Amino acid sequence: MPAMFIRVDMTREVAGDRELANKLAEVCPVNIFAQAPDGSATIVEENLDECVLCELCVQAAPPGGVRVVKLYDGTVLER
């Protein structure tokens, strides 16, 4: 089932960075990010609607690395 409230975008550089993938998995309070067996970051689609819009993932990534798009009004959380 697709997310109803948000979409999370991350760059290929962020997704492919093992250290950053681990950091994203650690900082997200609702487990939207996970680390794949190859060490890359993945998004756990079924957890997207649990997002509390805390922006911890946005702040943990380099500028432009992670964006949270609010599907209900089109605003974007990014740095």
Query: For residues 14 and 61, what is the distance between their CA atoms, to the nearest angstrom?
Result: 7
Reading the block at residue 53, the tokens are 């819009």
d(CA 2, CA 75): 18
| pLDDT tens digits, one per residue of 8-34 | 999 999 999 999 999 999 999 999 999
Nearest Cα residue to 14 out of 41, 36, 34: 41
16 torsion bin: left (phi>0), alpha (psi -120 to 50), beta (else): alpha
Mind listing the domains of the chain with CATH numbers? 1-57 (3.30.70)
- Helical (H) or strand (E) element with 47: none
- Per residue in 43-72, pLDDT (tens digit) is 999 999 999 999 999 999 999 999 999 999
